[in-house]
């Protein structure tokens, strides 16, 4: 897998029953929004269109989903009627942008030929489903180059993405593939801003591309996002490498692990080693005024998802 995944957090986002906002009382109407586009990763249980209803009930004006199971190679595409209803609800509720996260199985720089071919085919399906759902962004963890060199991994990722989109018309679609920074594990691509920037440079000749920056990944990779001076230095490093205008989506996750630990474990907003002030600085920074902020936080008890959305909305000035 491209990165370490917290199975508890992942399964909690997917379950129905007491954790599902659709099984809970409707929130007071009208639902209020902030000037910022704030969303959360929503379950598609019961049909992809149900995810939009979940986002709305959680008070989101943006959202992220998996377009298929993140644990299975064989993906089923939503029916045309479901895609139409998904897009209708997103327009009705002003949920924009829609972000899709690629399956965690996909590794576009695998050194195992069979695994790489499965990844290329799976990523092609991800792009096709994203277009069918009128998603603006498809987030990709570039992968692990274990068994090779970083240069081989970089080039393999570019070549694999090019093969995956061969014959798909992406011109004029208002759609971009977003390369997400990673937690900095030894063989993973994207653990530094320089690596993300290099991938973007090579991919621009192939696909419409930009970046997604994850606060937890940034923190555990070793960047200081907690102190005011460190936050500013980190933002300047992003500007010099990736360019902040090329970061339309931020994954807003607090961290359970320490800075520099390389451990990708998400925590509730304001309850981890990052703290609430970092998110206040990020969302109110003039350089991120046009960005979207998506939480990928654990749901350990019913209401955690709403709590995290409200925490992000609560810091908006």
**Which domains, ranges and CATH numbers included, belong to the chain?**
7-314 (3.20.20.150)
Is residue 280 flagged as an active site residue? Answer: no
At 276, the pLDDT band (50, 70, 90 cuts) reads very high
223 is catalytic: no
Q: What's residue 69's pLDDT? A: 86
Active site residue 114: no
- 152 as an active site residue: the answer is no
Which is catalytic among the residues 20, 53, 126, 180?
Answer: 180
Residue 31 contacts residue 56 (beta carbons within 8 Å) = yes
Q: Is 306 a catalytic residue?
A: no
Distance CA 162, CA 19 (A): 39
Q: In sequence order, which ranges of the chain are alpha helices (DSSP H)?
A: 7-14, 48-57, 80-92, 113-132, 150-164, 193-203, 215-220, 228-241, 276-284, 304-314
pLDDT at residue number 74: 85
pLDDT tens digits, one per residue of 220-272: 999 999 999 999 999 999 999 999 999 999 999 999 999 999 999 999 999 99
Indicate the SS3 state at residue 210.
strand
The catalytic position among 219, 251, 265, 306 is: 251
Contact 139, 102 (CB under 8 A): yes
Query: Using 50, 70 and 90 to split pLDDT, how confident is the model at 75?
Result: confident
pLDDT of residue 179 exceeding 70, the answer is: yes
Task: Answer left, alpha or beta for residue 103, where phi above 0 means left and psi between -120 and 50 means alpha.
Answer: beta
pLDDT score for 16:
55
Share of residues in the chain with pLDDT > 70 (%): 95
Catalytic-labelled residue, pool 37, 129, 217, 219: 217
What is d(CA 40, CA 59) in angstroms, rounded to the nearest whole number? 10
C-alpha 29/C-alpha 9 separation (Å) is 29
141 is catalytic: yes
Q: Which of 33, 93, 104, 187 is catalytic?
A: 104
Cα dihedral 215, 220, 226, 231, rounded to 10, equals: -60
Mean pLDDT of 277-302: 96
Tokens of 217: 């990944």
151 is catalytic: no
- Torsion angle in degrees (nearest 10) through CA of 284, 248, 188, 15: 80
């Amino acid at each position: 897998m491209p990165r370490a995944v917290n199975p508890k957090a992942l399964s909690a986002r997917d379950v129905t029953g007491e954790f599902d906002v659709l099984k809970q009382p409707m929130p007071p109407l009208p639902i209020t929004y902030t000037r910022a586009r704030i969303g959360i990763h929503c379950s598609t249980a019961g049909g992809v269109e149900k995810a939009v209803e979940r986002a709305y009930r959680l008070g989101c004006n943006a959202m992220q989903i998996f377009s298929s199971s993140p644990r299975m190679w064989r993906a089923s595409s939503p029916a045309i009627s479901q895609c139409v209803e998904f897009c209708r609800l997103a327009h009705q509720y002003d949920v924009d942008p829609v972000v899709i996260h690629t399956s965690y199985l996909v590794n576009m720089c695998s050194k195992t030929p069979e695994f790489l071919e499965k990844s290329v085919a799976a990523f092609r399906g991800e792009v096709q489903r994203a277009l069918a759902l009128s998603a603006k962004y498809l987030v990709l963890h570039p992968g692990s180059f274990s068994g090779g060199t970083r240069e081989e991994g970089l080039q393999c990722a570019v070549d694999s993405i090019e093969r995956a989109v061969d014959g798909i018309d992406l011109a004029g679609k208002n759609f971009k593939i977003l390369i997400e920074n990673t937690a900095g594990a030894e063989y993973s691509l994207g653990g530094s801003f320089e690596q993300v920037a290099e991938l973007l440079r090579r991919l621009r000749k192939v696909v419409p591309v930009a970046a997604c920056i994850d606060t937890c990944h940034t923190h555990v990779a070793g960047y200081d996002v907690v102190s005011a001076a460190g936050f500013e230095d980190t933002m300047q490093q992003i500007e010099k490498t990736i360019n902040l205008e090329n970061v339309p989506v931020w994954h807003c996750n607090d961290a359970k692990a320490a800075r520099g630990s390389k451990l990708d474990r998400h925590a509730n907003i304001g309850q981890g080693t990052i703290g609430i002030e970092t998110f206040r600085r990020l969302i109110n920074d003039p350089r991120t005024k046009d960005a979207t902020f998506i939480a990928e936080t654990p749901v350990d008890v019913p209401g955690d998802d709403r709590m995290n959305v409200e925490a992000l909305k609560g810091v908006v000035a």
